[in-house]
Structure 1
Amino acid sequence: MKSIPIMIIAIALISGPLVAQQKPTVSPIRGASAHDITKDFGPRLHPVLKAIRTHRGVDFDVPVGTAVCVTADGIVLEAGNAGPYGLSIRIRHAGGYETFYAHLSKISVTKGQKLSGGATIAQSGNSGLSSAPHLHYEVLKNGQHVDPKAFIAAR
């Protein structure tokens, strides 16, 4: 009976890193940090529409063709053209999280595909309603948009 508590401790130690992977804390751009975000979450003047709009994500100004990475283990919900967001990908993660990647030039994943955090899923671009090449990145928790900067800064 003494081996049961040891087994529980071993399982807790092994599963710790898996729990951390539920949150989308990997940067969507390799080597980028929260300091590299060029457009913040929240109200802003839309660069194309010239009107105040809520920016539901953050932007990284990067050249077309920059590798875009999935920010946690997950499953692709959507991959394709999303109107004003252009080529985009939506991924479901554990713990009620979803991430969204937009204005891409190339998509490298398909709907239903299982992904490991950090895997390359696309290349950045300038598709959709966009004024310059960049990656638009959103995080949702239980269907509500949250500031991605807090997750990127947590890594």
Structure 2
Amino acid sequence: MESKFNRRLIIMGVLAFIGAALLVATVALTCTTLVALITGVDGLPQDLDVREVRGEHLENASIIHLTDQDLEQFPALDSVIRGDNRDPHPWKLEGSPNDDPDERTIGRAPVTGTEHLVLIESFGIDAKNPPYLEYNGAYYYIRTLIH
């Protein structure tokens, strides 16, 4: 009789373990699905912020030279550097980020999550010391803003 009791206890323990594992998997899958539905398939909405720099910022900096093909590959970056999202105003000595006369924001453009990830892999935009991008003699650095 005691062996029947031990056998039942082992079977109940195994079933309880399987049930707990299924419960954890269900909760994890549900949370992942809800996050994906809330943020959308492509992630949170983001803006690409492009800043033009000159002067001391460029000393000892790593620089990536952009080509027309690079800009065609990244439509958001192209729209700020060459397109409709570029600020047409000239350099101002005041009102630039941190009141730095050698830095100015030239524009912002919406960017998809996929394009953001490709930009990070290509140019390291979220690194601590991101490289500067050069196009037609002007130097830029980029970052993304989540809103």
Determine if the TM-score, normalized by the shorter chain, exceeds 0.5. no
Rg: which structure is higher?
Answer: 2
Q: TM-score range by the shorter chain?
A: under 0.3
Tell me which protein shows more helix as a share of its residues. 2
TM-score w.r.t. length of structure 1: 0.26
More strand by share: 1
Normalising by structure 2, we get a TM-score of 0.27
